[in-house]
């Protein structure tokens, strides 16, 4: 049985989608879905379709540029769908796709965990920062 080169092992691992392999495309997806705007927009869309302006109000602090960019990448990744209704002004609604809805429970759990444990994290940071070097 022949041994495999490092390049062959990396290619094989990439095909198996092992996120610990640097070239694995799942790393890009993990990077994308761990973005704070993606997680907030996913959970904001949990209740159903929302207009762009509604999302802008719900997700406080997101700039127009970042909101547009994030929604576009989420649409490209198949997490949201965009529906344009011709009217004056034009109406644009965003909704989670089936793929986006499958990610929703994970994101809701992370959001809930963060809201529940923020005091613990802030206290840990303070203890860490107060340690002598």
Beginning with the edge strand found earlier in the chain, give each strand of the sheet holding 91-96 in spatial order: 50-51, 91-96, 80-85
Q: pLDDT tens digit string along 47-80?
A: 999 999 999 999 999 999 999 999 999 999 999 9
What is residue 8's predicted lDDT score, i.e. its pLDDT? 81
What is residue 110's predicted lDDT score, i.e. its pLDDT? 92
1 pLDDT higher than 70: no
> Looking at the structure, do residues 63 and 101 belong to the same domain, yes or no?
yes
What is residue 27's predicted lDDT score, i.e. its pLDDT? 86
> Looking at the structure, do residues 43 and 23 belong to the same domain, yes or no?
no
Sorting pLDDT into bands at 50, 70 and 90, what band is 13?
low
Sign of the Cα pseudo-torsion (82, 68, 63, 90, in order): negative
What is residue 15's predicted lDDT score, i.e. its pLDDT? 67
Contact indicator for 31, 22 with CB cutoff of 8 Å: no
Domain count, the chain: 2
Angle at the Cα of 76 from the Cα atoms of 72 and 74, rounded to 5 degrees: 55
**Which structural domain range is residue 6 located in?**
1-33
Query: What is the pLDDT averaged over residues 31-42?
Result: 93
In this structure, of 17-21, 25-29, 41-45, 91-95, the range with the lowest mean pLDDT score is 17-21
> Looking at the structure, do residues 54 and 28 belong to the same domain, yes or no?
no
Sorting pLDDT into bands at 50, 70 and 90, what band is 12?
confident
> Looking at the structure, do residues 59 and 110 belong to the same domain, yes or no?
yes
């Amino acid at each position: 049985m022949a041994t495999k080169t490092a390049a062959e092992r990396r290619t094989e691992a990439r095909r198996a989608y092992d996120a610990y392999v640097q070239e694995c495309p799942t790393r890009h997806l993990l990077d994308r879905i761990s973005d704070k705007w993606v997680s907030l927009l996913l959970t904001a869309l949990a209740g159903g379709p929302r207009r762009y302006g509604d999302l802008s109000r719900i997700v406080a602090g997101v700039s127009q540029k970042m909101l547009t960019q994030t929604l576009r990448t989420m649409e490209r990744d198949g997490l949201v769908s965009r529906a344009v209704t011709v009217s004056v002004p034009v109406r644009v609604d965003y909704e989670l796709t089936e793929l986006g809805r499958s990610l929703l429970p994970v994101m809701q759990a992370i959001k809930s965990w963060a809201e529940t444990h923020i005091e613990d994290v802030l206290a840990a940071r303070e203890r860490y920062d107060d340690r002598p070097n």
